[in-house]
Structure 1
Amino acid sequence: MGIFKIEGGIRLKGEITPQGAKNEALQILCAVLLTPEKVTINNIPDIIDINKLLTLLENLGVKIQKNAPGSYSFQADDVNVGYLETEGFKKEGGSLRGSIMIVGPLLARFGKGYIPKPGGDKIGRRRLDTHFEGFINLGAKFRYNREDHFYGVEAPKGLKGANMLLDEASVTGTANIVMAAVLAKGKTTVYNAACEPYLQQLCKMLNSMGAKITGVGSNLLTIEGVESLGGCEHRILPDMIEIGSWIGLAAMTKSEITIKDVSWDNLGVIPNTFRKLGITLERRGDDIYIPSHVDGYEIKTDIDGSILTVADAPWPGFTPDLLSIVLVVATQAKGDVLIHQKMFESRLFFVDKLIDMGAKIMLCDPHRAVVMGHDFQSQLKATTMSSPDIRAGISLLIAALSAKGTSTIQNIEQIDRGYERIDERLRAIGANIVRVE
């Protein structure tokens, strides 16, 4: 297990290009199981979670060819469905939450799909009911082995279209149901569907393969089932979470940074949320330019003068994956902000590490924290800390880069799960960060 040694308090400068979106890649890679024809995907991030999924697909019998960095071709013309019932699969599938999305494509194409209880970040309860209720609505039979936490759905006679209202707008749940429904007989309607850009990307890719999905971008999807899907070529969007991370990094370190090729039209409320914290962002073509905030940044209040609240919500609301970044950025702002993490009850528990560094944060309950900004009058202090999950990990890294002295971050595999070669890329814009194995 490696660690990062970080010398903080250094201003950075230069350009940084976001990686391909992790959350889109997890969906898109599972979709290659829907066709025996070749699918080429570009801009795949080289991160631990994605590489785990690539290994899982390969063990299922998918032929994978690397064309160039970030570009792969896939052909699932000889899938070994029997692998799903092996001990090796139980171990591999259980180590990656995104593996849940292989179930929909396998169920649609082969009539059965199994998955062990998936892992991932320990950020609170993450239910799978939406996925399996959707499959049951399409005619699948569900079973669950409580002894080894193994889920299964089977539909040997195929799936049939259905009308369904999802109990929550789950992104992975919607993706799984859509991938199952594209090969079902008849029409499926999915109301209260997630509509994130990455889900839109999945629907556009499936349509290019021959699926018939309408309502893309809305919370009501209509899917006309087809007999089969063909191959395609697809490019993954830049990662909006990484883009938000670099915005926060620039502000906290008073650095002048340009974030390249961000796909502005798919960022939603992210830029304006950071502007509410007082951060200056300029749109230059498809880039984001952040000037050096030498005089700091001031949190705006609501129209009536009350404290600003930043809360997560399903798209087009603010993504929960960036609340940790907003929280750490607020520690050096002028003014106060209430962070309300509605979706996960354990995601704010990393704030004790920021408090140890000198941040003024009051944790009200598992879902809410009030941050009282220092306005750079008191610099955060370097410390030794451990990364509990991907997003908390990058937040602590940003804090360390702004802090006085040398910090150590342990358990950096959590950061590597979601951020590609982060130490190399940060060094390229002037950061003093060293990876020690």
Structure 2
Amino acid sequence: MASFKITGGNRLHGEIEPQGAKNEALQILSATLLTEEPVTIHKVPNIRDVNKLIDLLKLMGVDVEKLGPESYRFTAKNVELSILETEEYKTMASSLRGSIMVLGPLLARFGKGKIPKPGGDKIGRRRLDTHFIGFQKLGAKFEYHAGDEFFHIDASDLKGTYILMDEASVTGTANIVMAAVLAKGQTTIYNAACEPYVQQLCRMLNSMGADIQGIGSNLLTINGVTALHGTEHQLLPDMIEIGSFIGMAAMTKSSLKIKNARVDQLGLIPDVFRKLGIQMEIIDDDILIPAQNNYEIETFIDGSIMTVADAIWPGFTPDLLSIVLVVATQAKGTVLIHQKMFESRLFFVDKLIDMGAQIILCDPHRATVIGLDRKQALRGIRMSSPDIRAGVSLLIAALSAEGVSIIDHVEQIDRGYQNIDDRLRALGADITRID
């Protein structure tokens, strides 16, 4: 177990470049299983979840070559399905929620697959029904064995069909798309997720020879092909990291430049932070956040309290609500944070309250934040990281607080943010990793 020791109160300065997108990487790396030809991927983030998936692909027989610090070549020519029966596979796959993403490619290319119940963040129920309902509609048959907690799937005869998804799940859409690209006939997916990462996956699959139409919309049409070939692909910058750095700059009164942010792919993220009173300037593809001693939350036109809620794309991503919440603790004004998609993601606010924040947890989905307007600094405490996003929110709070904070279980943060302590030290943060 590792911890961070943070002495807060330092202003940060300089430039930082976001890592490749974690959520895109888990889909793109899994898609390399769809062909026996080499697939080269650039901007692969060096984070625990992605590294675990790379190790899982290696275990399955994929040849992985590291071409540079952020570039890999994957060749899935000699995939060995017998590995799926081993205890090592069960252990590795069950420790990573992203392991569910290998299922679609396995079913499409090999006609069968199995996966243990995946792990991941403890942020409430994250059901997998959408994935399996989609596979079933394509003709797959599956069983769940409660004894060994394995999903067993037979997909020897996948056929295109019409699928109306019960929810616009990002991973569900990606998994069903990967299963459908090699199915016989045409598949139509309505109520599909259309996040930039799903768009990236579809474009990469098309570059491999797939026929996917409607990219960027919630209606995808996929004409199955017999085989896919190799390609080269670069991941987008991680929009969650970008939002985290915007919030970090505001909370620590810092001037930061976020380089190569792909602003055209950020959707509502800049606008939501502007509603909190955070100034920013877009210069080409960089975001400059100037040092601000104070920032004020907007109200709605009728004067009522601002509400920030998550929604499916192009709505505001749920992964940044924790960041918005912590940033609001030092703003002038009040905001209601409404986390609609996960019922346990706001429970970390008890740590912020212990630090001196004024927050009312209304229920598992809603929290009202009364900003302190810098009149009282947060104070350093010892706390634990419950999940990736809450962990970084607590890290931001600690960087702005008076005194010393200790954050335990930072392996959670490492799952989504590469070398975060080294990168923050380069900006002037006083942060030390304690093993």
Tell me whether the two structures share a fold, i.e. TM-score over 0.5. yes
Name the residue aligned to 1:43: 43
Residue 2 of structure 1 deviates from its aligned partner by: 1.0
Question: What are the equivalent positions in structure 2 for 1:193-204 lying under 5 Å apart?
Answer: 193-204=192-203
Residue 270 of structure 1 deviates from its aligned partner by: 0.2
CA distance in structure 1 between the partners assigned to 2:152 and 2:373 by the alignment: 53
Question: What are the equivalent positions in structure 2 for 1:108-127 lying under 5 Å apart?
Answer: 108-127=108-127
1:367 counterpart letter in structure 2: H
Q: Percent identity, aligned pairs only?
A: 70
Name the residue aligned to 2:214: 215
CA distance in structure 2 between the partners assigned to 1:20 and 1:161 by the alignment: 33
CA distance in structure 2 between the partners assigned to 1:303 and 1:83 by the alignment: 59
Q: Matched residue of 2:345: which SS?
A: coil
Question: What are the equivalent positions in structure 2 for 1:369-408 lying under 5 Å apart?
Answer: 369-408=367-406
Aligned mate of 1:338, from 333, 336, 339: 336
Residue 281 of structure 1 deviates from its aligned partner by: 1.1
CA distance in structure 2 between the partners assigned to 1:392 and 1:370 by the alignment: 16
List per-residue Cα deviations over 1:324-358 (Å, max 9, x = no partner). Answer: 00000000000000000000000000000000000
Find out whether 1:319 has 2:314 as its counterpart.
Answer: no
Name the residue aligned to 2:424: 426
Question: What are the equivalent positions in structure 2 for 1:49-64 lying under 5 Å apart?
Answer: 49-64=49-64
Structure 1 gaps, min length 5 = none
List per-residue Cα deviations over 1:135-171 (Å, max 9, x = no partner). Answer: 0000011111011211121122x21000010000000
Residue 86 of structure 1 deviates from its aligned partner by: 1.3
Q: Matched residue of 1:246: which SS?
A: helix
Name the residue aligned to 2:21: 21
List per-residue Cα deviations over 1:17-61 (Å, max 9, x = no partner). Answer: 000000000000000000000000000000000000000000000
Residue 272 of structure 1 deviates from its aligned partner by: 0.0
2:98 counterpart letter in structure 1: G
Aligned residues: 435
Name the residue aligned to 2:182: 183
Name the residue aligned to 1:171: 170
Name the residue aligned to 1:352: 350
Name the residue aligned to 1:9: 9
Which portions of structure 1, spanning 4 or more consecutive aligned residues, are displaced by more than 3 angstroms? none
Residue 248 of structure 1 deviates from its aligned partner by: 0.3
Q: Matched residue of 1:185: which SS?
A: coil
Name the residue aligned to 1:253: 252
Aligned mate of 2:362, from 356, 361, 364: 364
Q: Matched residue of 1:377: which SS?
A: coil
CA distance in structure 2 between the partners assigned to 1:367 and 1:387 by the alignment: 19
Find out whether 1:93 has 2:98 as its counterpart.
Answer: no
CA distance in structure 1 between the partners assigned to 2:228 and 2:397 by the alignment: 47
Residue 91 of structure 1 deviates from its aligned partner by: 0.8
CA distance in structure 1 between the partners assigned to 2:227 and 2:346 by the alignment: 44
Residue 276 of structure 1 deviates from its aligned partner by: 0.3
1:162 counterpart letter in structure 2: T
List per-residue Cα deviations over 1:189-225 (Å, max 9, x = no partner). Answer: 0000000000000000000000000000000000000
Residue 84 of structure 1 deviates from its aligned partner by: 1.1
List per-residue Cα deviations over 1:207-256 (Å, max 9, x = no partner). Answer: 00000000000000000000000000000000000000000000000000
Name the residue aligned to 2:151: 151
CA distance in structure 2 between the partners assigned to 1:163 and 1:321 by the alignment: 30
CA distance in structure 2 between the partners assigned to 1:434 and 1:320 by the alignment: 29
CA distance in structure 1 between the partners assigned to 2:115 and 2:371 by the alignment: 44
1:300 counterpart letter in structure 2: E
1:423 counterpart letter in structure 2: D
CA distance in structure 1 between the partners assigned to 2:372 and 2:60 by the alignment: 52
Q: Matched residue of 2:153: which SS?
A: strand
Q: Matched residue of 1:364: which SS?
A: strand
CA distance in structure 2 between the partners assigned to 1:343 and 1:72 by the alignment: 34
Residue 66 of structure 1 deviates from its aligned partner by: 0.3
Q: Matched residue of 2:136: which SS?
A: helix
Over the aligned positions, Cα root-mean-square deviation in angstroms equals 0.5
CA distance in structure 2 between the partners assigned to 1:155 and 1:277 by the alignment: 49
CA distance in structure 1 between the partners assigned to 2:56 and 2:99 by the alignment: 8
Q: Matched residue of 1:370: which SS?
A: strand
Aligned mate of 2:411, from 410, 413, 426: 413
1:117 counterpart letter in structure 2: K
Find out whether 1:274 has 2:302 as its counterpart.
Answer: no
CA distance in structure 2 between the partners assigned to 1:22 and 1:43 by the alignment: 10
List per-residue Cα deviations over 1:163-195 (Å, max 9, x = no partner). Answer: 010000000000000000000000000000000
Name the residue aligned to 2:129: 129
